Amino acid sequence: MAKTYFTEDHEWLRVEGGIATVGITDYAQEQLGDLVFVELPETGRKLAKGDTAVVVESVKAASDVYAPVDGEITEANNALSSDPSLVNSAATGDGWLWKMKLANESQLEGLLDEAGYQAHIG
């Protein structure tokens, strides 16, 4: 049974079997505007919480997306190479950014649940 977590940096994580699928929230994609490029991470890359995992580029600006927890990249969403606008149209679905194997599942306890995130964005 997958469980979804959120961060104050407007990311979501869907965790199932020790693997987290990570993306940005609908609120975040709205703030960024139309995306034109996503710089995806290489599979196998080890990330510490707070490392830049992905750079999303809108018409106007580039923004970093940080690793919300420690782990290793197992897959990047290559569909975004040809269609970065998937992040705008389906931020919490087909517009996911990467999957990572969690190094320390206890870090999930520090994240927000959906109600906590909704309260955060007001």
Partner 1 sequence: MTGDDTKHLPLEDLHAAVGARFGAFAGWSMPLTYPAGVMKEHLHTREQAGLFDISHMKLFEVSGPGAAALLDRACPLDAGALDISQSKYTFFLNEAAGIIDDLIVTRLGDERFMVVANAGNAAVDEKHLRGLAEDFEAKVDALDRVFLAIQGPEAWAALARAGIETGSLLFMHGIEPRQNWFMSRSGYTGEDGFEIGLPEADARDLVARLLEDERVLWIGLAARDSLRLEAGLCLHGQDITPEIDPASAGLMWAIPKDIRAAGAFIGADALRAIVERGPAQKRVGLKPEGRQPVRAGAALFDADGNQAGHVTSGGFGPSAGHPVAMGYVSTALAKPGAKLLADVRGTKIPIDINPLPFTPHRYRKG
Least distance to partner 1, CB of residue 5, Å: 27
Is residue 55 part of the contact set for partner 1 (CB under 8 A)?
yes
Give me the DSSP letters along 8-43.
TTSEEEEEETTEEEEEE-HHHHHHH-SEEEEEPPPT
Contact 82, 36 (CB under 8 A): no
Question: Under rule CB under 8 A, which residues in 73-112 are in contact with partner 1?
Answer: 81, 84, 88
Is residue 2 part of the contact set for partner 1 (CB under 8 A)?
no
Q: Which two tokens stand for residue 68?
A: 């919300």
Closest CB to partner 1 among 10 and 20?
A: 10
Question: Under rule CB under 8 A, which residues in 17-36 are in contact with partner 1?
Answer: 31, 33-34, 36
